Structures are given as C-alpha cells and as structure tokens.
Chains A and B, each alone.
Chain A
Amino acid sequence: MRKFESNVQYTKYLVNREMAKRFLNGEKMNAETVKKIGETISPGPKPNTRCCIYKERHILSERVKINLKKQKKDENVIKIIRAACDECPVYRYVVTEACRGCLAHKCIEVCPRNAITIIGHRAFINQDLCIECGKCHSACPFGAISDVKRPCLCSCHADALFVAEDRKVYIDEEKCVSCGACVYNCPFGAIVDKSFVIDTLDLLKKSENNTKYKVYAVIAPAISSQFTNAKIEQVINGIEKIGFYHAVEAALGADMVSCHEAIEFADTIEKRQWMTSSCCPAFVKYIQKNYPELMSHVSGTVSPMIAIAKMIKNTDKDARIVFIGPCTAKKMEINENDIKGIIDYAITFEELNAILDAMDIDVSKCDETPLDNASYYGRLFARSGGVSAAVEAAINEKGIDVDFQPVKCDGLDECVKALKVASFGRLKGNFIEGMACKCGCIGGAASLSHGPKDVTEVDKYGQLSKEKSSVQATRIFDIESLHLERDYKKVMRKRRNKKETIEENNQ
C-alpha cells in the first residue's frame, strides 16, 4: 500500500475506501452503515489518536455523514467537523521573556476581558478568559506579547477562518474560496472536503457498464506526480477498470484554453490594460468575492476542465463526465450558474486512490493504456508558470503581435498581493497567472503527493506528448463552435442575490 503523507490523509482515505467497499457490496448507506464504518476503522479497545474510541468513532461517523449528505445548491464543500477541532492549545497570544512587568502595563488596560494580571513581575494571560482580540499585542511597548497563529488560520490566505468564543474554528462563507489549504494544513483533520466517491460509483453503476450512457473520466495533468509506484499508462488502465468508458486528458482542454486565451488577450488587452488567467477556480472566486469591480479583467475563457467537457459533449451528447484532479475548488466550480451540468462530479486523487483500493485494483500490476492528445504546453498547466508559458507559446505560434508580460503568482498569498497592486493600477506586467496552491495544481489540497520532485514529473510527462504545441494539439477542432466563454454576469447576479438573502436573514 502507498505511504501516506500524514495520518490525516490516511484517515480520509480509510473513510472513503470503507464507504466505497460497502457501497460496492450492495450495502445501503444508512445510519447503521455509518456506525459500522466508524467501528471498522477504530476497532478499539484503544483509540488511535483521540482520547477514547467513542470520540474517535463519533468523528469518523461525522466524516462519513458529510460525504453522504446531498450537497445543497451553493453549499460549500469545505466543512468543519466540530468535534474534531481540537480548539488548538496553541494559544495565540503569549507573554514572552521580553516582558518587563512595567508600571504602565498597557496590556492590562486594553484587555476587554480582564484576562491579564501581573504575576512575579511579568504579565500573565489567563487563556480561559482570552478571546484572542490582539489588543495587548498591539499595545505592548516592548513587543513582548507574541502572536502565534493556528495552522488553519496561517494557511488561509483568503482570511476566511475565524475562531469563535468557544475556541473552535469557523468558516466565513462570504470569504471562503474552497481552495482547501486548511483541509491540507489542519493537523487534526478537522476540516474536510466533501467527497463524491459514492455519487461517482452510483453514476457508474446506473450506466450499466456504459450502456445507458457513457461515463468519461477527465484527468487533470497533475496526475503525473501522483502514483509514483506505477507508470501513468497503468494508472489510466486502472481508472478505466473502475468502469469509466474512456479517460481523457484535461490538458487537451488546457490546449484549447491557451489558444482561446491568446486570442482573447490580443483582442482585449488594449482596452483592459491587464488580464488574469481563469483556470484556477479558487483564484477566480477570490476576485469575485473581494474585487467584484475587477471581474472585467478576468479572462472570460472557461477552465480546461470545462473546455474538454464541452468537447466530449460535442462528440457524445449523452456523455456523463467525472473530473479527477487534485483540487477541492473544482467541486464548487462545476456548480457555477453559467457552466452547471456540464460536469457531473469532481473527485480528487485522494478519492480516486480510495476507489482503486476498494476495488482491489493495484495500478502497479495493471496493463498499460495510453493517455494522449494534449501537448507539452497543455500538460504544463499543472504547475506554476505553465499557463503563462502556454499562452505565450500560442501567441508566438499564431504570429500575433502583442506585448505579453506575465506576472506569475504561485499561491493565493502572491495572488492577493498582485491583485492589490493591480487594483491601484501599478501591476508590473499585463497578465496575472493566478494559482491558489503553491507550485500550482500539483500542490493541490487533495493531491496525494506534495514533494519537491513533482515539478520535474510534470515536465517529464509534458515531454512525452505527441503534439508539441497547443496550436498543434487543437488543429482538428473548431474551437469557435465550442463556445468557450464564461458568463460571469450570471455568476455575479447569483452572488448578489445570495448576499441580499443573507442580509435579509440577519435583519
């Protein structure tokens, strides 16, 4: 079995695998099964990590319940398991050695909860009273009060997490972009992305071996760094063994996107001054939620996932499509108003791995089925810098005379900075490549591997392409007829309505 990066990843895997196994065995996904899954993973008598098996099982069953619950319209796929949040004992504000126990003790004066007292010539914060407002930290003239953030808060660059008075963490839905950084970074696995393992297996089952309709798998190019124990051709064979009719590269969609975006850039850059990429759903969501007035700068081209799905539906109108990638935000993107219904489900590499194991498919022993179509550049979309390189190559190959100056933003923190600068009209360049995850998609929250070698794996995979450029890879397609344009107005309108409803509810 594969070596997991952490026990958090392993636990998520166990839950998904157990659910898949039972579903495949024909068990009904009811309360009894939920209970049984908890007991199977935590058999006792001793707990694995928590205080007792009862809490452990409770958390496990919460994980299963989140995965089974039908997703409501617009409901965030990122969820917090309250019982699993350990109210991290990393107290955010702690008095350090630098405290002189001074006469002024501004810290005591500003504390709204009277949580600070002087004990033995030094300030002391009573953590049971502290609400982490940070006033003492700002007030201390010696800078003696340290600010140590929780891992989840540190990881969230959208500023969408907050700690409430009960010390547990909560999601600010108005800000969350579903990038999944907190899911990957919470050491207790208290934040999860809803899995669509059962939905996918059910879709496959109801296809009756692809006779009622055909189920296509669209595979993100980040797959190249995922299963290091097998060749990529074997992984594709394994995926088709699950029951998919055919596996198609999302990277071919990326080729279409780079050609489409190159033309869009050339046609509109004079008017827009600067433009951003649109393939990363978390990045686009960040702009929507924080800079709605800048949406006119976001590329109106669909993401590679949607582009290839439109292509598949063009060849087979009854096709059902499941996207498999490293991304949690894709699970939200597929429900956006203007592109809804094109993709049936988006699952992650973690979920794929669980399904393969539940079916006892060992990819390292599978035959080889090729995965081809996309070009070198399309495949590079999986890593930071890839989108810029692809668009630039398409501009050059098409012989378009335009000045293309990319600003590569690796990670949401860099995107946030670049957008701020751009909003003041001071961007040093005219194309923002926005990637919410560090290193690009290969560093995705639900990627199985986050190693330093992953970038080289993507490049190696890219070099295997039969087609050398995006223009070459798309030469037989009539891209115009596929309508690769987004309608952000539809999305924004929906957002406004949602905001109004929330405000009304609050009144």
Chain B
Amino acid sequence: MEIQVCIGSVCHLKGSYEIINKLDELINSNGLEDKFKIKAAFCLGQCVGAVCVKVQDTIYSVQPETVTEFFENVVKKQVM
C-alpha cells in the first residue's frame, strides 16, 4: 500500500521530511516494510491542512508531533 507524503513547499516548511523519516522508522520497527511504501508527492492540494498525508484516497493532516498517533490510528488499521 502506498502512503503519499506531500513535500510541496508549505508541507516542507511544516516538517514533511521529518514525518517521512519518522514514518519510515515506525514502519520498519513494526516489521511492516513489505506492506507499505512511502512516496513523496508534490502538493496534494490541501495546503491549509499541512502536512498532507494520503492513505487510500483519504488525505490526513499530520504534524511531526502527531506521527506516532497517526501511525497507530490510521496506518496500522489498514493492515489489521
């Protein structure tokens, strides 16, 4: 499954690179490497809700501080 993280200018300024790195870590430490693929995207069109993360056609607003919460509540649920 693909997780798209927006790296457009607005999201970049709000920390999308940190989110990518953290998500990557979380996915690896939970042994889900073959289930998810993180992909960068240039602008998902929802700049107000930066940082935008798209999973299965739904766009979520995630901040570097809420990555773990997002991972537990959204990402993990996709495979459960």
What's the minimum C-beta distance from B13 to chain A, rounded to whole angstroms?
5
On whether the beta carbons of A245 and B43 are closer than 8 Å, the reply is yes
Partner of B12, one of A236, A247, A372: A372
B10 within 8 A of A: yes
On whether the beta carbons of A373 and B12 are closer than 8 Å, the reply is yes
B7 within 8 A of A: yes
On whether the beta carbons of B9 and A369 are closer than 8 Å, the reply is yes
Partner of A476, one of B10, B17, B42: B17
On whether the beta carbons of B12 and A315 are closer than 8 Å, the reply is no
CB interface residues, A 439-477, toward B, < 8 Å: 466-467, 475-477
Question: What is the CA–CA distance of A482 and B9 in the complex, to the nearest angstrom?
Answer: 21
A248: B residues at CB distance < 8 A: 8, 42
B1 within 8 A of A: no
What's the minimum C-beta distance from A320 to chain B, rounded to whole angstroms?
13
CB interface residues, A 315-341, toward B, < 8 Å: 315-316
A370: B residues at CB distance < 8 A: 9-10, 13
With A475-B17, A476-B20 as contacts: A312 and B42 at CB distance below 8 Å:
yes
Interface residues of A (CB under 8 A from B): 216, 236, 245-249, 311-312, 315-316, 369-373, 466-467, 475-477
A312 nearest in chain B by CB position = B42
On whether the beta carbons of A476 and B43 are closer than 8 Å, the reply is no
On whether the beta carbons of A466 and B12 are closer than 8 Å, the reply is yes
Question: What is the CA–CA distance of A193 and B21 in the complex, to the nearest angstrom?
Answer: 44
What's the minimum C-beta distance from A466 to chain B, rounded to whole angstroms?
6
Q: How large is the interface on B (under 10, 10 to 19, 20 to 34, 35 or more residues)?
A: 10 to 19
On whether the beta carbons of A246 and B40 are closer than 8 Å, the reply is no
B42: A residues at CB distance < 8 A: 216, 246, 248, 312, 315-316
**Extra pairs beyond A315-B39, A372-B13, A466-B12 (20, CB < 8 Å):** A216-B42, A236-B9, A245-B43, A246-B8, A246-B42, A248-B8, A248-B42, A249-B9, A311-B40, A312-B42, A315-B4, A315-B40, A315-B42, A316-B41, A369-B10, A372-B10, A372-B12, A466-B13, A476-B7, A476-B21
With most chain A CB atoms within 10 A of its CB, the pick from B4, B10, B12, B20 is: B12
On whether the beta carbons of B12 and A475 are closer than 8 Å, the reply is no
On whether the beta carbons of B9 and A372 are closer than 8 Å, the reply is yes
What's the minimum C-beta distance from A73 to chain B, rounded to whole angstroms?
30
What's the minimum C-beta distance from A484 to chain B, rounded to whole angstroms?
16
A216 nearest in chain B by CB position = B42
What's the minimum C-beta distance from A141 to chain B, rounded to whole angstroms?
67
What's the minimum C-beta distance from B22 to chain A, rounded to whole angstroms?
11
A315: B residues at CB distance < 8 A: 4, 39-42
Question: What is the CA–CA distance of A290 and B21 in the complex, to the nearest angstrom?
Answer: 46
B13: A residues at CB distance < 8 A: 370, 372, 466
Question: What is the CA–CA distance of A311 and B7 in the complex, to the nearest angstrom?
Answer: 11
Query: What 0/1 readout, one digit per residue, does chain B (1-33) give for beta carbons within 8 Å of chain A?
Result: 000100111101100010011000000000000
What's the minimum C-beta distance from B10 to chain A, rounded to whole angstroms?
6
Partner of A373, one of B9, B20, B21, B41: B9
Question: What is the CA–CA distance of A436 and B76 in the complex, to the nearest angstrom?
Answer: 53
B7 nearest in chain A by CB position = A373
CB interface residues, B 32-47, toward A, < 8 Å: 39-43
On whether the beta carbons of B40 and A477 are closer than 8 Å, the reply is yes
Chosen A-B contacts, 19 in total, with CB atoms closer than 8 Å, are A248-B8, A315-B4, A315-B40, A316-B41, A316-B42, A369-B9, A370-B9, A371-B9, A372-B9, A372-B12, A373-B7, A373-B9, A373-B12, A466-B13, A475-B17, A475-B21, A476-B20, A476-B21, A477-B40
Question: What is the CA–CA distance of A79 and B9 in the complex, to the nearest angstrom?
Answer: 37
